[in-house]
Amino acid sequence: MSAKPVEVAIALWGDRHLPVSAVAAQARALEASGVVDGILLADQLVNFIPQQLWTPRNTPAASFLGDPDSHSDAFTLAAYLSALTPSLSLSVSTDSVRRGPAELIQTMLTLADITQGRVTFHIGGGEVKQCKPYGHKRSQGLSRMEDLFKIYKSWSEDHGPLTHQGNHWSFDKATIGRAMPHKPRIWGLGAGPKLIDHATTYCDGLAATCPPVWGGPEAFGKARAEILEQVRRKGRDPSKFNTAVWFPVMLTENPEQVQLALANPLVKWMSGIFGRIDAKLWREVGLESPIPEDWNYFTHFLPYDTPQSFIDSVLAKTTDEHVRQGWLIGTPKEVAAMIQRYIDAGADWVCPMDYLPLVLDPSEAEAAFARSIELCRLIKAGG
């Protein structure tokens, strides 16, 4: 069992079709609940949804949101929400590809100052949908990550001008100043062996998504033990290394909503392409992969360059059982019990992300949001 008290966060999304006051109201409600520790904001340019599936038939939101891709800038939104809800901690997920290390570290330190150190950055190796259309090379993600982490470590320990010859960045007496009154937590985001090596060498923790990465609490617990052993072998203190889990969930008190979701093309699509990060992992639950075993969303999926034939194939091969195995589905009480098993296995930061509102009528949004808060209450109470 985790020796650390569990932190609970809820993911919020800013959408430029809507007034920012809408996400501000959600943040205030989370703060007022007294059971949510923080919020997670994702630095995304585009969504996981191909344009062909963004229709009112699949999601009522398409009738008033012209696209699923008009995301607010996560860093700007983080500063705004922190000013409105100062008792909530912040987590921001981003990648190591799209921003230079000096610029990203400056932003990270600024948000650390704004929050007095209550901010965590989840940093991954990048997704092709976030990189290729904009001229970035996703294939450089892990080597750029190494540069970023080394540069941050040098600046945070020495503070002075840095000369650095890295994989992609060469610094010559470079500085962003010595002032670092507050430092953020930095976690690796993902579970590949090289990323885990970087995280256990340089980071304060590691975050991954379950069940897509580790299909159950037993697999998570085993992987966590191996990760902490890496930390120990590198001369670092495993007790100070966080293990965090993002959970894709669908919360409902109505079994009919579950049945509708199981048949919904948007839900089936997301289940098929990232119900398991590695397509081969479907074998562990006795299912055939809906996607080719040499395909994964973060190196192959481009939402505006996805053939209809590929979408049709994924939807045809994604069964109800794929959906059930890719999400935590049930009432807040049922899902809290599922998440508690991961906490018992060592997770000390958890973020349930309810996708069911995406396919519900907008009139049900308030009740859906209340279910997420109730889930957090139950998690904090121990399931």
| The pLDDT of residue 158 | 82
Residue of 378, 343, 370 lying closest to 253 (CA atoms): 370
Which domains does the chain carry? 7-266+328-380 (3.20.20.30)
Q: Please give the structure tokens belonging to residue 76.
A: 């700007």
> Residue 11 above 90 pLDDT?
yes
> Residue 224 above 50 pLDDT?
yes
Contact 10, 36 (CB under 8 A): yes
Contact 128, 175 (CB under 8 A): no
For 105, half-sphere exposure in the C-beta direction (CA atoms, 13 angstrom radius) is 22
- CB-based burial of residue 83 (10 Å sphere; 0-12 exposed, 13-18 middle, 19+ buried)? exposed
**Helix/strand/coil (H, E, C) string of 343-376?**
HHCCCCEEEEEECHHHHCCHHHHHHHHHHHHHHH
* Model confidence pLDDT, tens digit, residues 34-71: 999 999 999 999 999 999 999 999 999 999 999 999 99
| The pLDDT of residue 338 | 98
Q: How confident is the model at residue 201 (pLDDT cuts 50, 70, 90)?
A: very high
Contact 280, 289 (CB under 8 A): yes
Q: How confident is the model at residue 4 (pLDDT cuts 50, 70, 90)?
A: confident
* Model confidence pLDDT, tens digit, residues 326-351: 999 999 999 999 999 999 999 999 99
Q: Whole-number mean pLDDT of the chain?
A: 96
| The pLDDT of residue 1 | 46
| The pLDDT of residue 73 | 98
Average pLDDT of span 124-135: 97
Q: Within the chain, where are the H helices? A: 20-33, 74-84, 101-114, 128-131, 141-158, 193-202, 217-233, 255-263, 265-274, 297-300, 308-317, 320-326, 332-344, 365-380
- CB-based burial of residue 187 (10 Å sphere; 0-12 exposed, 13-18 middle, 19+ buried)? buried
| The pLDDT of residue 2 | 47
Tell whether omega for the bond before 212 is within 30 degrees of 0, i.e. cis: no
> pLDDT exceeding 90 applies to what percent of the chain?
97
Average pLDDT of span 178-193: 96
* Long-range Cβ contacts of 372-375 (<8 Å, 24+ apart): 372/10, 372/251, 372/332, 373/10, 373/29, 373/30, 373/33, 373/35, 373/36, 374/332, 375/249, 375/251, 375/332, 375/335, 375/336, 375/339
> Residue 214 above 90 pLDDT?
yes
Q: How confident is the model at residue 3 (pLDDT cuts 50, 70, 90)?
A: low
Q: What is the pTM of this model?
A: 0.96
Contact 75, 43 (CB under 8 A): yes
* Model confidence pLDDT, tens digit, residues 148-165: 999 999 999 987 899 999
| The pLDDT of residue 159 | 76
Q: How far apart are CA 359 and CA 368, in angstroms?
A: 11
| The pLDDT of residue 383 | 65
